[in-house]
Structure 1
Amino acid sequence: MTAKAILHMLSTLKHMSPFDVNMAVDAGYDVTIPYANVTIEEVPALVQDAMFSRAPSAALRTGIFFAGRDAVLALDMLDVAKKSLLKPFEVSLFADPYGSFTTAGAMVACVEKLLREKKQRELKGVKIIIYGATGVVGYSAGVIAALEGAQVTMAGYSGLDRVRKLTDEIEHRFNVKCTPADGSTGEAVRALLLDNEIALCAARAGVQVLSKEDLAAAKSLLIAADVNAVPPLGVEGCGLHDNGAVISPNGALGIGALAIGNVKYGTQSGLFKQMTDATQPLCLDFRHAFALARTLV
């Protein structure tokens, strides 16, 4: 009899995301067990307790998922978990805090496809501004784009110090450079838009980042993508389902939240399925999310 697929879901928050639980079950997990308020110090014991409770033949039917709302902490917890594994009991690991890795992977993959097909450009060398960069989706999208060779500027709404700490951390962790910027005023938001070719809007729900006037003023803008599905949308004039619609008089194209969301859904589901079908232990993060999203756009 095949061992049941069990997923232990660790969150640093008070609650595990119901979205993630539903995704895991629909992707093939028989049992999901949420753990709340988990600290990084507790990870080794939890991972090894799950690992040693099953025979090596059932190890790959066990998965550990890292949630929460902090991309850096999730990556650190993933690394601690990986170091806690012992052969031949190794289980699979997957980090996707607040769905940010799969959302960011989908966002950048959608932009990349549109950029190639409609603008005959690649991510490498393109100038990207990320609004809401101190959030988990903005952070993750910035790292993905920078690793692909884009010139990434990350704008924060709470002053320059916080976003500068993030860009310093990105350079230290991933050996890529992102430029910090202050996006705390409307004037600063527009000035940054005028100096870039791609705008990734990852601000909090219900906040309009770019107005029609901003878009009209941005003569060099090629694409604006928005992950906010709550009115008002992050990019005025960009519909939820838009995937290449013209949104400015200068020919900029828009990608809406649900167009990105469809790819995100397939990406997260696909990574869970990779875990349940694995023939060797997996350790999945935003890089794997982007790789899979590229095949889904």
Structure 2
Amino acid sequence: MSRSILHMLSPLKHMSPFDVNMAVDAGFDAVVPYTGVTIEDVRSLVQDAIFSRSPNDGKRTSIFIAGKNGGLALDMLDAARKAFVPPFMLNVFADPAGSFTTGAAMVAAVRKVLRHKHGTSLAGKKVAVYGGTGVVAYCAAVLVALDGGHPVLVGHDGDRRVHDISQGMKERFSVDVGHADGSNTQAREAAARGVDVILSAGPAGMNILSSTELDAVGNLLVAADVNAVPPAGLEGVGVMAGGDPFGTGKALGIGALAIGNIKYKTEFGLFRQLLATEKPITLDFRDAYKLAVEIAG
């Protein structure tokens, strides 16, 4: 059998050591990082990779797309696929800053708690997604919409950027995602009023909603927070919470470490899928969600 090779592309100055470690631990024979990569570079890099091996070795040749920009990562993934010259193809996996697998893990954890502890699903649920301009929020909102929910992106700097992001989601994935202002305490509280689920994907160490504001939501069912750095993004939701009650209502909390455990297993599992596939595959956050749901149980 030919050796497994992973080419890791990032538009940033450095490749993430986290992703390199994950790939090596997953079992790739060779892991090669490329930094400062532009979308214009992708075609030539992919074609160098596919034409240097036989078509049968495409399944043993993989491209990983890193960085910190979700839209750019998806565009680079599309550029990689367009560079194929069948039967010369390879595997492509996008997970910029680990955000695709984190967003998938977050929604999978919420899905599990809704089903197992509230006897319901995401379908029809109103979901406020804080940190709305970030990649984790982007993935989470699209996944919620694909699962039949009604997500709203809440923007820390107002609703203009999240409006544009939601329009891009509709164009790319044919989903409807709302947008709301979250630029001050009153706006963030208003965006949460009456929702069923809150997803907090804001910056580390920043409190987004206080316990008092969370209690005022009403019939909140689940609140999930990916922030592991004090103070919590959602006050009262512990980092280890895995569907634990908090506040004065019936809300259940999911913390950063519980989500992180699913995220870690999901990213590792997707690397293993690249190694095990019998034909070239392409993986993005929708594929991550399928695996995360299995892992969450």
Q: Distance in 2 between matches of 1:180 and 1:87?
A: 41
Greater Cα shift, 123-132 or 226-235: 226-235
Counterpart residue type for residue 234 of structure 1: G
* Cα pair 2:181 2:191 within 8 Å, conserved: no
8 Å contact from structure 1 (residues 194, 221) kept in 2: no
Q: Per-residue displacement from partner, 1:13-43 (whole Å, max 9, x unpaired)?
A: 1111111111111111121111111111110
- 1:124 aligns with 123
CA distance, structure 2, for counterparts of residue 128 and residue 192 of structure 1: 10
Deviation at 1:115, TM superposition (A): 0.4
Map 1:101-180 → 2, pairs under 5 A? 101-180=100-179
For 1:176, the aligned partner's letter is: V
Rounded to whole Å, the distance in 2 between the matches of 1:192 and 1:270 is: 35
Paired position in structure 2 for 1:29: 28
Tell me, yes or no, if the aligned pair for 1:8 and 1:64 is still in contact at 8 Å: yes
Contact 2:126–2:195 under 8 Å retained in 1: yes
* CA-CA distance at 1:195 after TM superposition: 2.3
User: Gaps spanning 5+ residues in structure 1: where?
Assistant: none
SS in 2 for 1:232: coil
TM-superposition CA deviations, 1:88-135 (whole Å, max 9, x none)? 321100011111111111100000010011112111100000000100
Q: Does 1:181 align with 2:160?
A: no
Deviation at 1:235, TM superposition (A): 1.3
User: Counterpart amino acid of 1:216?
Assistant: D
Q: Could you report, residue by residue, the CA deviation over 1:202-243 in whole angstroms, capped at 9, with x for unpaired residues?
A: 001111112111122122111100011111121111111111
Per-residue CA shift, 1:167-200, capped at 9, x if unaligned?
1111111111111100011111111112211000
CA contact (8 A) 2:267 2:288 kept: yes
> 2-side partners of 1:87 and 1:217: how far apart?
57
SS at match of 2:148: coil
TM-score if structure 2 supplies the norm length? 0.98
- Partner of residue 215, structure 2: 216
2:139 partner amino acid? S
> Shift of the alpha carbon at 1:87?
2.4
Gaps of 5+ in 2: none
2:290 aligned counterpart, secondary structure: helix
The amino acid across from 1:208 in the alignment is N
The alpha-carbon deviation at position 57 of structure 1 amounts to 3.0
Match of 2:54 in 1: 55
| Aligned mates of 1:57, 1:127 — CA distance in 2 | 47
How far apart, in 1, do the equivalents of 2:106 and 2:88 lie?
A: 35
The residue that corresponds to 1:73 in the other structure is: 72
Q: Report the alpha carbon displacement of residue 142 of structure 1 after superposing the two structures with TM.
A: 0.5
Conservation of the 8 A alpha-carbon contact between 1:193 and 1:221? no
